[in-house]
Amino acid sequence: MKLARQFAVLAALVGAVLAQTEQWPVHDDGLNQVIEWDHYSLKINGERVFIWSGEMHYWRIPVPQVWRDILEKTKAAGFNTVAFYGNWGFHSATRNTTDFETGAHNIESLFSLAKEIGLYIIFRPGPYVNAEAHAGGFPGWVTTGEYGTLRNNDTRYTEAWKPYMTKIGQIVSKHLVTNGGNVILYQLENEYGAQWLNPTAKTPNWPAIDYMEELEANARESGIDIPLYTNAPNMGGLSWSKDYSNVGGEQDIYGVDSYPNCWSCDFSECTQWGDVEEFKVQDYYSHFALISPTQPSFLPEFQGGSYNPWGGPQGGCRESNGPDFVSMFYRDNISQRITLHSVYMLFGGTNWGGLACPLVGTSYDYSSPIQETRLLGSKYQESKILGLQVRTAKDLTMTERIGNGTAYTDNSLIWTTELRNPETKSGFYIVRHNPSTLTTTDAFKISVSTSKGNFTIPQLGGTLALVSHEAKILSTDTSLPNGRTLVYSTAEVLSVSTLEKQSPLLVLWTPASAVGEFLLSGVQSKSAKFVKGTGKIVAQADGTTLVSIPSVNGVSVVKFADGLRVLVLDKPTASITYVPSLASDPKAPLDKNLVVIGPSLVRSAKLKLGVVALTGDTTEETTIEVFAPPTALILTWNGKPLAAQRTAYGSLITQFRPSLTGIKIGGFNWTQANGLPESSAEYDDSKWTIVNATSSPSVWQPETLPPLFGEDHKIWMGNILWRGRFTGSQASGVYLSVAGGNAMGYSAYLNGVLVGSFLGDRYTIIGNTTFSFANATLNADGDNVLLVVQDHTGKGLRDLALIPRGIFNATLQGVTLAGGDRSGGFNSWRVAGTAGRDSETGTIDPIRGTLNEGGLHAERLGWHLPGFKDTSQQFKASAGPAGGISTDGMAFYRTEVDIKVPKGLDASLAVEFDPSISPTRNFRLLLFVNGYQFGKIIEREGNQIEFPVPPGILNYNGKNTIGVNLWAQEVVGAKVGVSLKVLGVSESSFDALMPEASALRPGYQDRSAYY
């Protein structure tokens, strides 16, 4: 009786809402009508599109050949769009240069690849991007203070960003959908909720408004004629929506970013800003109704994982951002009428070199569906299952919320939201736990309203169930080819294919052993039968056909006389089911869908002259089943013909066993050299930069002079070495205040003797300490040399980008200074940093770029580069980092390793360290692979020991140069084990050998000028 009464109320509510559907205005950007939008969704060339997007950063995977791998995996997971951040600092080493030509700086192929594969692009150029990147994507030179406080209308800042934004706009404009390309949206700035001084009172912030208007004008002048959008950092700023205000700077489409499970693996980083509870859903529906009611609801960044801060766990926090996170949160977002949804991150990549901001270490895996290793797991498969459903459910692009609450089911612990398309009348019932944080397993029946009446389902016995953070989208009145309708289904829709017009496919899935029940109209039930699996088929009095499978396991197939085939899969099978499109169209038309079951990954499919040609990956022996037309007689996998049989229900099926052996990795034969000869008082620093300025442009001023800021000497990243001289023996110690970012550290040497180290922690960005000279010998009649070697963990985000890296205060203790003397007792200073920074282009290594190297001795001299000859007297045979150093200081280790990966295999390789053998955790380490800095360990603050390195950086068919710089900050020394391990292997169509990538690994050239 309870459900019966609810039906009456719900049915009346449906009718009332649909009858009162508002006619919403259709918008465009005033420049063309290729892209339009309204209250419901985006329209491209007049067709509604649900934007299902995932983010990757090309600059975090600096191998253009690998971009194909990531984009193919993106498409295979059902995404129709990929989002990219630009990175001003990656492209602009100096004020007068913008590099979009060399190596991974050339992004033209990125756009071409995405179009070839069939993906729309959302592009986010900046100028500021945040992204846990060095200075939030600002180049180091813009953070010196010479350009003001940044992110406003200061003319100095405006003139700084214009060349980059103009150039990247011109490049992107060639690839806009309006020019035959595939870029559909263009973001200005990032999480810049600054339109108002007071959002409630709508008090304008004119410098911010002027800034946004200048950015918009620049984009339009650069040829960007597609919609511009904004991504609010939260739901409190109420900035830049044309539905909310018209004072200036408003963008075409408003969006809001959201990370409900915390953006960091350290949950305390989020709880300090308010009440945050894992798996607690947010209310976006009300927010968009307030600020952007005539626009589609847009989440430009929705949590795809979390970054791993210093001190975070090895491998990140996948347990709180796993498959159940995808299942529940993403479906709940759909229940709130989100029709533009971008996952941040889909593929995180690596903070190689100095790309990272100080909060994070080398890994930017982000617990993403596509792992930093490029391997795929259960989270990817969960994303794919939902992505294929969204790609298929065209009616989701136009819905109204009919109602929500606990009245739809017979269990108050189940929350249901009903959406309905006001034109087609198709419905979607999204169910999750109430509250969403529950982890129990709860059974229920649900009431649905359909064109054939109201039903409590399942009808033929059994119940549905939600397990923990699981959610479901149950469809009603889904149109199928030739007048058929899926009236309802307790199984979720995975895909529909009309490739075989006479025998279309409907693919459904349920959890393993769950009930699968669906009702069809417009089909002939008389001769319907199970051709695989068992269940009930019941012809209803109204001409509909009810099908029930009490326990779904594997693949069940129901065939109807009119040719319709319904596949019902359990979840393990759905996880290895792909639906590649035969067309490179992001909309993936149903008549181009080819259903394939079995491989680990299907990258592409072609059907021509009776041949089905599939490409993809296999990691184990598997059955490959392809639902191809009867005219398809031959099946190939990665170019190899397979002996396939035709099944009773029309598919081609075969068994495939990949060959995964043959990978060979050579041994390590290490050489070793002193990595810190600069600590010696006799070291010749005559080629170093003299530091003698009396002021700095920085908005943060030093306490002693001269200013010892790396930025004043074009040092943007990496280790910085400072050498100060003073005379006499009066000094008893030195007070140092050194800025280096979170987890920074430094060591000080007086006349070659370690006087102390600041070990750092994950919270301190400026380290203050006093070191005694008691253990060192001072020269009474000559110079004393103090070396300060500091770590640099990147420039901070937002306003913190302006804090310089260097020494704020260096003051000798026990020395009397005259009034007004700000020298701290030092007579002179010199500094060493990145080699070649004073060149016209700002770098002597344009391929790897300005953010790859710091100022260590080994880096300045190119010891880390392929081709360097380590046969001089400086180097000696060594046991390597595992032998370590027995005292403080640095050692640089170098070896060449042969790698042979057979053609046809793709492998994920990583350098792994074992710090447990070290006598102390107080050491720092840099890993170099073929000249790229691809790993950083700060052992006392970080737990990452495994550093994935992609093909292209590694040569999979030859020699590889590996370098390790080990820095012991205490006299007990340090040591660490090193190995090169295989994380995963697949037989693949992806060419991991990529001989053309050798150009990304330029070799050694003489650097004696930087000695």
Instruction: Give catalytic status of residue 191 as yes or no.
Output: yes
Orientation angle between helical segments 155-173 and 206-221, nearest 10 degrees:
30
Q: CB 96: neighbour CB atoms within 10 A? A: 11
Omega before 550 cis (within 30°)? no
Residue recorded with tokens 């079995």: 598
Strand, helix or coil for residue 853: coil
Question: How far apart are the C-alpha atoms of 969 and 859, rounded to whole Å?
Answer: 19
Question: Among residues 55, 189, 191, 987, which one is catalytic?
Answer: 191
Question: How far apart are the C-alpha atoms of 705 and 690, rounded to whole Å?
Answer: 13
User: Is residue 178 within 8 Å of residue 225, measured between CB atoms?
Assistant: yes
* Dihedral over alpha carbons 816, 822, 827, 829 (to 10 degrees): 140
Q: DSSP code of 827?
A: S
Question: How far apart are the C-alpha atoms of 466 and 503, rounded to whole Å?
Answer: 33
Omega before 435 cis (within 30°)? yes
User: Is residue 717 within 8 Å of residue 851, measured between CB atoms?
Assistant: yes
User: Is residue 170 within 8 Å of residue 221, measured between CB atoms?
Assistant: no
Question: How far apart are the C-alpha atoms of 627 and 607, rounded to whole Å?
Answer: 12
The length of the chain, given as a count of residues: 1011
The amino acid at residue 230 is T
Closest CA to 498 of 520, 475, 481: 481
Question: How far apart are the C-alpha atoms of 172 and 226, rounded to whole Å?
Answer: 11
User: Is residue 135 within 8 Å of residue 143, measured between CB atoms?
Assistant: yes
Question: How far apart are the C-alpha atoms of 707 and 739, rounded to whole Å?
Answer: 12
The amino acid at residue 282 is Q
Question: How far apart are the C-alpha atoms of 44 and 69, rounded to whole Å?
Answer: 27
User: Is residue 818 within 8 Å of residue 758, measured between CB atoms?
Assistant: no
Question: How far apart are the C-alpha atoms of 168 and 126, rounded to whole Å?
Answer: 10
Strand, helix or coil for residue 292: coil
Question: Among residues 301, 382, 418, 970, which one is catalytic?
Answer: 301
Question: How far apart are the C-alpha atoms of 994 and 743, rounded to whole Å?
Answer: 37
Residue recorded with tokens 């496919």: 505
User: Is residue 842 within 8 Å of residue 343, measured between CB atoms?
Assistant: no
Task: Write phi, then psi, for 513 (nearest 5 degrees).
Answer: 70, 10
Strand, helix or coil for residue 801: helix
> Please, what is the end-to-end C-alpha distance for the chain in angstroms?
87
Closest CA to 386 of 320, 439, 430, 437: 430
Question: How far apart are the C-alpha atoms of 572 and 381, rounded to whole Å?
Answer: 9
Instruction: Give catalytic status of residue 423 as yes or no.
Output: no
Strand, helix or coil for residue 397: helix
Active-site positions?
A: 191, 301
